[in-house]
Structure 1
Amino acid sequence: MEFYIPTETGEFLAFSGAVAALLLGLVGLFAPRLALKFNGLQLRDASTEGCAAARSLGGFHAGLALCAIMVAQDWTYLAVGSAFSLAAFGRILSMMSDASFGWKGLVLLVVQMLLAMLPLAHVFGFV
C-alpha cells in the first residue's frame, strides 16, 4: 500500500486537518497529563482513571484521523470534520451555560473550528 499525499488544494487542506488531529490525538494518547494540563484539568489523588480517559480520547482522535489519512476518501474527511464540529459546538455550549468563557477557551474553539472547516470545506466543495 502506498502512502498518498494529496496534490489538489482542497484535499490537501483536508489532509492537513487530519494530520493536525492525529498529532493532537497522539499527544493525548502518549502524554495524557500534558494534554489535561493544557486544557486546564488536574488529576486528583494520583487517579489513574483520569489518565485512562485522556488516553482513550486521544486514541480515538488519533485513530479517526489516521483512518482519514490512510483511506483519503471524502466520507472519512466528513467524519473528522463532523467530530470537530460537534466538539466546537460543545465548547460553545459550555461557554454559554457553564460560565467557562476565557481566552484559552476561545483559542481552543478557534482551533476546533479550523480543524472542522478544513475537511468539511473539501467535502462540500468550497475549496
Structure 2
Amino acid sequence: MEFYIPTETGELLAFLAAIASGLLGLFTLFAPGTALRLAGLQLREATREGLAFVRSAGGFHAGLSIVALLVAQSWIYMAIGGGFALAAFGRILSLMSDRSFTARNLAVLLVQAVLAGCMLGYVFELF
C-alpha cells in the first residue's frame, strides 16, 4: 500500500482539510486541558472522566482523518465534511439562540465551514 497525495485541486483541498482535522484531533487528544481552555471552558473541577471524554473526541477526529488520508475515498471525505457541516450548523444555532456572538465563535465557525466546504466541495464536484 502506497501513500497517495492528490494532484487535482478539489481532491487536494479535501486532503489538506483532512490533515487540518487530524492535527486538531491530535492536539485535543494529547492536550485536552489546553483545548478546553481555547474553547472557552474553565477547568475548575476537571475530572478524569471529563478529560477522558475530551481525549476520546480528539482521538475520534484524528482517527477519521487518518483513515481519510490513507484510503483517499470520497465517501470518507463526505462523512467528515458532513460532520463539520452539522457542527457549523450547531454553532450557528448557538450564535442565534444562546447569544454567543463572539469573535472566538465566529472564528471557529469559519474554520468548521471551510473544512466542511473543502471536503464536500470535492465530493460533490464543485471544484
Q: Same fold (TM over 0.5)?
A: yes
Residue 21 of structure 1 corresponds to which residue in structure 2?
21
Shift of 1:78: 0.3
Is residue 123 of structure 1 aligned with residue 123 of structure 2? yes
Residue type of the partner of 1:11? Answer: E
Shift of 1:52: 1.1
Shift of 1:49: 2.2
In 2, Cα distance between equivalents of 1:99 and 1:46 = 26
Q: 1:126 to 1:46 in 2, by over 3 A?
A: closer
Give deviations 1:29-55, integer Å, cap 9, x for gaps.
011011101100122224222211110
Shift of 1:108: 0.5
So what's the TM-score if we normalise by structure 2? 0.96
In 1, Cα distance between equivalents of 2:71 and 2:10 = 16
Residue aligned with 1:2, SS = coil
Give deviations 1:6-30, integer Å, cap 9, x for gaps.
1111100000000000000000001
Instruction: Report matched runs for 1:7-86 at 5 Å.
Output: 7-86=7-86
Gaps of 5+ in 1: none
In 2, Cα distance between equivalents of 1:71 and 1:122 = 15
Gaps of 5+ in 2: none
So what's the TM-score if we normalise by structure 1? 0.96
In 2, Cα distance between equivalents of 1:123 and 1:45 = 42
Question: In percent, how many aligned pairs have the same letter?
Answer: 60
Residue type of the partner of 2:106? Answer: L
Give deviations 1:51-101, integer Å, cap 9, x for gaps.
111101101111111111111001011011001001101111111111211
Residue type of the partner of 2:85? Answer: S
